Amino acid sequence: MDNHDNLILTSGDFQKLSSLVSSTQTKIAELLEEELSRASIVPDDELPQDVVSMNATVRFQDLDTEKESTVTLVYPHEANIDENKVSILAPVGSALIGLRVGQMIIWPVPNGKEKRMKVTSVLNQLEKKIS
């Protein structure tokens, strides 16, 4: 993978996701753990508005097909494909977390191929807490 851009995570997301990956034994969890290890951690109320966080609704483009999709990034028990709620442990979810608008990532998918995705907008960040 060629993903050298910095990721940004809130301390709350980092703690919850670290706990989640330590209790999950899948290839996606391993890849997510790698992503967590390279992330810059910021206080929950200092996350820039253009960064993908948990429970954020994000629009991204598949750079190979040029198709745009909009999903909300959620924890596994909240995933619902009919509502476009994608689990953080799904390949797309784990690829998008911590990216900024304009960043792209190359991410492995289950068929042994790689998907090239670019974040085009972050529509809201439900986890962001402002005091």
Residue 11 lies in a domain: yes
Residue 131 lies in a domain: no
Residue 23 lies in a domain: yes
Residue 130 lies in a domain: no
**Tens of pLDDT along 38-76?**
899 999 999 999 999 999 999 999 999 999 999 999 999
pLDDT at residue 65, rounded to an integer: 92
Compute φ and ψ for 106, nearest 5 degrees.
-110, 125
Domain of 72, in residue numbers: 7-125
Residue 2 lies in a domain: no
Residue 1 lies in a domain: no
Residue 87 lies in a domain: yes
**Residue 73 CB neighbours (<10 A):** 28
Q: For residue 49, give the amino acid letter.
A: Q
Give the pair of three-digit tokens for residue 59: 């629009």
Mean pLDDT by 10 residues, the chain (131 residues): 70 93 82 88 93 96 94 95 94 91 87 89 68 35
CATH number for the domain that contains residue 97: 3.10.50.30
pLDDT at residue 5, rounded to an integer: 62
Give the pair of three-digit tokens for residue 104: 């792209």
pLDDT at residue 33, rounded to an integer: 87
Could you give the number of structural domains in the chain? 1
Give the pair of three-digit tokens for residue 102: 């304009």
